[in-house]
Amino acid sequence: MSGTAWAHAGYLLWLLAGCADFRCHRRSDLPHTSGLAESGLHVLQMGLMGTLVLAWLAARPTLPLLALSALLVLVHALAAYLDTRTAWGRRPVTPLEQHLHSVLDAAPWVALGVAAYGQGAAALARGWTWEWRSPLPPAPAWIAVLLPALLLCVLPLLAEFAAAWRARTRGAGG
Instruction: Write out pLDDT tens, residues 8-28.
Output: 999 999 999 999 999 999 999
Q: Is the model's pLDDT at 70 over the cut of 60?
A: yes
Distance CA 174, CA 19 (A): 22
Q: Is the model's pLDDT at 100 over the cut of 90?
A: yes
Percent of the chain with pLDDT over 90: 84
Q: Which residues pair with residue 145 across a beta bridge?
A: none
Q: Is the model's pLDDT at 69 over the cut of 60?
A: yes
pLDDT for position 134? 96
Q: Is the model's pLDDT at 104 over the cut of 70?
A: yes
Q: How many CA atoms lie within 13 A of 47 on its CB side?
A: 9
What does the buried/exposed string (b/e) look like for 13-43 if buried means 16 or more CB atoms within 10 Å of the residue's CB? ebbebbbbbbebbeebbbbbbbbbbbbbbbe
Backbone angles phi, psi at 68, to 5 degrees: -60, -40
Q: Is 149:34 a contact under the CB 8 Å cutoff?
A: no
Q: Is the model's pLDDT at 173 over the cut of 60?
A: no
Distance CA 122, CA 124 (A): 5
Q: Is the whole-model pTM more than 0.75?
A: yes
